[in-house]
Amino acid sequence: MENGRRKFLKIASHAIGGTLAAGVAAPVVGLAVHPWLKETVYGIEDFINIGKLDDFQVGIPKKMTITSSKMDAWNIFEGLVMGSVWVVRAEDNTLSVFSTNCPHLGCGIDWGADVNQFLCPCHGGVFDVNGRKISGPSPRDLYTFETKIENNNILVKYKKC
Ligand code: FES
């Protein structure tokens, strides 16, 4: 009888100890595995595909919405709108991808096709087709994003700015 109770207490204490150890280890394992899950299982990457190179005319800026996937705990949210960019394709197929927000105070910049310039409606900021500041209060040129082309897809490393 005494032997049976000791055996039961031994098994119970091992079970409780194992449960506590798993509770401590799970977050550590989760932290280690999370980046791998994020990049390989769910396909969430730093570079976001914004379309095919062929869909952009040379020298004519095109505004594109940036959408992405986001993992929040165990949920995956697809097609989240993160922002937008201006894409300019040059003759040699190199790309310039600019923020649509003015570097002055963040207003939305439009393409003025009639004057061939980017125009900020808030305080009169003006930028050329290469994003260089022409006039206005902006302290700098338009923000640009790292871009690459893979299999005719335009990939942009987007972040809020
Ligand atoms: S926010 Fe664009 S010029 Fe001021």
Q: What is the DSSP secondary structure assignment for residue 40, as one 8-state letter?
A: I
Are 84 and 153 in a shared domain?
A: yes
For 87-119, give one letter per residue: b (16+ CB within 10 A) or e.
Answer: bbbeeeeebbbbbbbbbbeeeebebeeeeebbb
Q: Number of structural domains, the chain?
A: 2
Q: Which residue owns the Cα nearest ligand 1 atom 4?
A: 123
Are 24 and 68 in a shared domain?
A: no
Are 52 and 35 in a shared domain?
A: no
User: Mind listing the pLDDT tens digit for each residue in 80-128?
Assistant: 888 999 999 999 989 999 999 999 999 999 999 999 999 999 999 999 9
Are 23 and 63 in a shared domain?
A: no
Q: Give the CATH number, domain containing residue 152.
A: 2.102.10.10
Are 92 and 126 in a shared domain?
A: yes
Enclosing domain of residue 67: 47-157
User: Mind listing the pLDDT tens digit for each residue in 12-34?
Assistant: 777 777 777 777 666 555 555 55
Q: Which residues contact 143 (CB under 8 A, 6 or more apart)?
A: 98, 99, 101, 103, 161
Which ligand 1 atom is nearest residue 109's CA? 2
* Best mutation site among 100, 109, 120 for ligand 1 pocket (most ligand atoms within 8 Å of CB): 120
Are 51 and 114 in a shared domain?
A: yes
CA of 108 to the centre of ligand 1 (A): 8
